[in-house]
């Protein structure tokens, strides 16, 4: 039976009969630490990824550094950063996928 948290990890792979999670999330800890995971989901730090991903100023900063700049009609337009290969993690209330 797959590990319950495996559905949260598009990067999980099988190794010698075990599911390896490249990135460990609070969802992994929730399996045994249900109460702590619930408490953490209410902590502002649990929402850091979502807060940044949806922050326009942060997005512009990220794109300015990682994206390209283009002149359009005498103005500078910021091109979006090229996303890394592979699926981008989905966002939930816990900052998990």
Q: For the chain, how many residues are written? A: 97
* C-alpha distance across the termini of the chain, in Å: 20
Min dist CB 28 to ligand HEC, Å, is: 5
Q: Say whether residue 28 binds ligand HEC (CB under 6 A).
A: yes
CB 22 within 8 A of CB 9: yes
Figure out which of the listed residues 33, 38, 80, 88 binds ligand HEC, where binding follows CB under 6 A. Answer: 33
Figure out which of the listed residues 10, 21, 29, 89 binds ligand HEC, where binding follows CB under 6 A. Answer: 29
Which of 88, 85, 79, 5 shows the shortest CA–CA distance to 53? Answer: 88
**Strand, coil or helix: what is 75?**
strand
* Nearer Cβ to ligand HEC (3/81): 3
x/- letters, 40..69, toward ligand HEC (CB under 6 A)? ------------------------------
Q: Say whether residue 23 binds ligand HEC (CB under 6 A).
A: no
**Nearest-angstrom CA–CA distance, 19 and 35:** 24
Q: Which residues bind ligand HEC (CB under 6 A)?
A: 24, 28-29, 31-33
């Amino acid at each position: 039976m797959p590990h319950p948290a495996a559905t949260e990890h598009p990067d999980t792979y099988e190794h010698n009969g075990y599911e390896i999670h490249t990135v460990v999330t609070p969802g992994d800890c929730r399996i045994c630490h249900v109460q702590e995971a619930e408490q953490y989901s209410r902590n502002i730090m649990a929402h850091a990824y979502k807060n940044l991903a949806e922050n326009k100023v942060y997005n512009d900063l990220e794109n300015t550094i990682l994206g390209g700049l283009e002149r359009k009609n005498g103005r500078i337009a910021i091109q979006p950063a090229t996303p890394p290969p592979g699926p981008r993690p989905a966002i939930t209330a816990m900052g998990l996928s």
